[in-house]
Amino acid sequence: MSLQAFFVAATVVTLLQWLRVRERRLLPLLALFALLAAAHHQDDWRLARGFHLAAGAAGLILLAMLSSRQPQARP
């Protein structure tokens, strides 16, 4: 199984999960997997590098979204 197939499968599973729960934090994860699948589809490393950089940016956005959650009060 190639890395491209893995990232396409991860994109589909994340999309199905997003359709089920409508959690907006899944969108950057969806973008990350889709961009990595596109990067591994490219034959030219210059094009692939741009997709990898965009995937990294999506990962940083996801990190910011997860870090900005307010701590919940414990009873």
Residues 17-42 pLDDT 10s: 999 999 999 999 999 999 999 999 98
Task: Please compute, for residue 72, the number of CA atoms within 13 A of its CA located in the half-sphere on the CB side.
Answer: 2
Place of tokens 């599973």: 13
Taking only the tens place, the pLDDT of each residue in 40-66 is 998 899 989 999 999 999 999 999 998
pTM above 0.75, yes or no: yes
> Quick one: angle between helices 26-41 and 3-21, nearest 10?
160
